[in-house]
Structure 1
Amino acid sequence: MEHFLARRGFLGAAVALGAAALTGPLTTGTAQAAAPAGRWPTALALATGFQPEGIAIGHSPYAYLGSLRNGAVYRASLATGEGRIVHQGLGDGHSTVGLKIDRAERRLFLSGGWSREIRVVDARSGALLRHFTGLGAATTMVNDVVLTPGAAWFTDSFQPQLYRLPLDRTGAPGDEVTTVPLRGDWTQGTDFTANGIERTPDGRALLVVNCAHDGGSLMRVDPGTGVARTVDLGDLRIPDGDGLLLLGRELYIVQQYTNQIDVVRLDATGSRGTAIARITDPQRFRVPTTAAAWGDRIYLPNARFRLDPDPTAVPYDVVSVPRV
């Protein structure tokens, strides 16, 4: 997203090489692999001007997409591609950037971007359940979110801190959002810094993209102290790192500016990772931002940052690629 709306960097489209995802070990270069045949669509059409950014998929085959334009949430069937708006949003200036759905598929947790908000929405009715405002500082941008058993955690792209919303045993949110300052190895850039967030494989810490540290790094954050340590990814740098998706020990890092996903195999603690694959699709990737999984497919919304003179006048889509 750009400063007036968005999160992360931006890139134009690449030259087409075919509709299938391209996957391959990084040690041997990026190779082409055909998507498996199936009846479900590998692309989901969104409305003109919807401007998606975040995606969430629960235990059921439905994707939830948030709109940067007005904060609306769209629910799409992965089986048919059809869908509807389930939450109307709060209008212009109240974006939905990152979003996650809880295990019970009852609540959606929404990051409000520049509005400095966190919103909790009923996933079925779309009703606004909780609304937290005035977070951080004037330059705060509440960006991405991850759910843990005891809390929802949110990144701030312009302040060196995370936001913690406590959850009870039923997953219901508490009454107050607390701020956890980031320290240790954390480097706060002069501009956009923190982005995607996930849990470590052992569940004891958080993983956060830092676009400013050492050419783009992944940081392991102690949720109790805010101490961040750089995750050893070898030679891999993630200056355009956006959404994170952890499947077992495999971490999918969406690099929207370069239209690719880097796949890293982590150790249990999330302190070290080895790059094992890179996924690209020059024909269909149009600045993908975040990722969610269903079965053997990874689904990514195309945000199309900086590709269109008027982003409110173009159609958007979600594309899927095979899981590594």
Structure 2
Amino acid sequence: MTRNDSRPSRRTVLGGAGLAALATAAAGGTALAGPRRGAGRPTEFPLPDGFQPEGITIGKEPYAYLGSLANGAVYRADLRTGRGRVVYAGAEGTSAVGVKLDHDGLLYIAGRTDGTVRVLDTHTGTLVATHQAAPESGHFINDAVLLRDRAWFTDSYDSVLYGVPRGRYGPHEIRELPLGGDWQQEPDGVNANGVVATPDERALIVVNSPLGRLYRVSLRTGRATEIALRGAEDVVGGDGLVRLGSTLYVVQNRQNVVSVFTLDERGTTAKLRRRITDPRFDVPTTAAPYRNRLYLVNARFTTPPEPDTEYNVVAVPL
């Protein structure tokens, strides 16, 4: 769930940043004063200037939580209005990549190159746990999925997944699951990226961004089996994954497209159904569903990040 070339700047978001006054519309480059609305809810809304968003997650309530690559901050947006605020300020030298919200209000945050997984209580805005999933160098904790008693994270620089126990209590041992079988690890750059559970929830689906391949990963052995694609050669640039029932949405960041597949129950084949494009896409990285929409983060990796760089979230019909 992040760029496929150089790493983003660690420029710190200016403290207490509120909503940006203007959001840039990708179509035509015009400026919007506040959220754009449709059917009562905004179809796009701005984020704080300089925020450098990457991950997004939405729970049962109409709130989206987004993480910042710049300093690990977490922003909460009200999907009914498009307005929001920073609920966790982060810290210099940290990042928030993939984020996943649990039913108890705990937010699991991938820490990128520091090897950490942080757990935030969204009700109080305080960290309740920090797990050192991997060493601080040579690893990239990227995306997450909640399955059974663990939050599973990809490591984009290493062929391994990490299973972090869910909740604030109980055992805290982290399970390392090395990837084998068909898995191929490119020597440089981001590899394993987005991750979701298979429709039968017996395994995981992981996308390899540079190769453009989807893999079914056994939770018992770590064996990765390449998923047969029907109607598509690859999903190069695959970043965030979303699964709703047997439908898999693959966000292909620099391609500015979301490829929509139908999976079989075990997640061994994926048939392309359609592709979603939108002129407002500006290198979307991750997505989250809510009701009849898919909300996508415009990470704008082709735009140099500055304190006044504008970012936004756009919604498309599911």
TM-score (norm 1): 0.85
Partner residue in 2 for 1:320:
315
Aligned-pair CA distance for 1:114: 1.1
Q: What is the alpha-carbon distance in structure 1 between the residues aligned to residue 271 and residue 144 of structure 2?
A: 24
The answer on whether the counterparts of 1:51 and 1:312 sit within 8 Å (CA) in structure 2 is no
Aligned-residue RMSD, C-alpha: 2.3
Letter in 2 for 1:56: T
Higher relative contact order (CA 8 A, sep 6+): 1
SS of 2:254's equivalent in the other structure is: helix
Q: 1:255 aligns with which of 252, 256, 274?
A: 252
Which residue is 1:182 aligned to? 179
Number of aligned positions between the proteins: 294
User: Is residue 190 of structure 2 the alignment partner of residue 195 of structure 1?
Assistant: no
Counterpart code for 1:276: R
- Residue 106 of structure 2 contacts residue 121 of structure 2 at CA under 8 Å; is this kept in 1? yes
Partner of 2:281: 285
Shift of the alpha carbon at 1:266?
0.4
Deviations 1:75-109 (A, max 9, x none): 100000111111111x23210000000023x2000
Q: CA deviation at 1:236?
A: 3.2
Match for residue 88 of structure 1? 89
User: CA 1:281/1:200 → structure 2, altered by over 3 Å: closer, same or farther?
Assistant: same
2:116 equivalent in structure 1: 117
Distance 1:14 1:269, change over 3 A: farther
Q: Secondary structure at the match of 2:224?
A: strand
User: Unaligned 5+ residue runs, structure 2?
Assistant: 10-23, 31-35
Give the match's secondary structure for 2:114.
coil
Question: How much does 1:3 deviate?
Answer: 3.4
Q: Is the 8 A contact 1:53 1:289 kept in 2?
A: yes
Q: What secondary structure is seen at the aligned counterpart in 1 of 2:315?
A: strand
Deviates more, 1:285-294 or 1:171-180: 171-180
8 Å Cα contact 1:117-1:133 kept in structure 2 = yes
Paired position in structure 2 for 1:75: 76
1:161-191 per-residue CA deviation (whole Å, 9 max, x = no partner) reads 00111236xx857412221110000001012
Write the letter of the residue equivalent to 2:194. G
Deviation of 1:123 (Å): 1.1
**Given that residues 133 and 174 in structure 2 are in contact (C-alpha distance below 8 angstroms), is that contact kept between their aligned partners in structure 1?**
no
1:2-21 map, 5 Å: 2-5=5-8, 16=27
AA in 2 matched with 1:107: L
Is 1:102 aligned with 2:109?
no
CA shift, 1:140, in A, is 0.2
Does structure 1 residue 141 correspond to structure 2 residue 140?
Answer: yes
Contact 1:165 1:173 in 2 (8 A): no
1:126 pairs with 2:113: no
Shift, 1:313, TM fit: 2.2
Contact 2:253/2:285 (CA < 8 Å) preserved in 1?
A: yes
Q: Report SS of the residue matched to 2:307.
A: helix
Cα offset for 1:118?
Answer: 0.5
Among residues 294, 302, 308, which one is paired with 1:306 in the alignment? 302
- Distance between the aligned counterparts of 1:167 and 1:73, measured in 2? 19
For residues 184-204 of structure 1, the C-alpha deviation after alignment (integer angstroms, 9 at most, x for no partner) is 000010122110000001100
Normalized per residue, the structure richer in strand is 2
1:232 maps to 228
Give the distance between the partners of 2:299 and 2:145, measured in 1 at CA. Answer: 20
Letter in 1 for 2:150: A
Secondary structure at 2:251 match in 1: strand
Q: Which residue of 1 aligns with 2:205?
A: 207
The answer to whether 1:269 aligns with 2:266 is: yes
Structure 2 vs 1, CA of residues 318 and 230 (structure 1 numbering), >3 Å: closer, same or farther? same
Aligned to 1:28: none
Percent of aligned positions with the same letter in both sequences? 45
Aligned equivalent of 1:26: none
For 2:6, the aligned partner's letter is H
- Higher mean displacement: 128-137 or 247-256: 128-137
Q: Which runs of 5+ in 1 are unaligned?
A: 7-12, 20-34
TM-score, length-normalised on structure 2? 0.87
Query: 1:150: which partner in 2?
Result: 149
2:215 counterpart of 1:219: yes
1:244-271 superposed Cα distances (whole Å, 9 cap, x missing partner): 0001110000000100000000011111
**Structure 1 residue 241 corresponds to structure 2 residue 233:** no
Change (3 A) 1:223 1:17: farther
Conservation of the 8 A alpha-carbon contact between 1:262 and 1:275 = yes
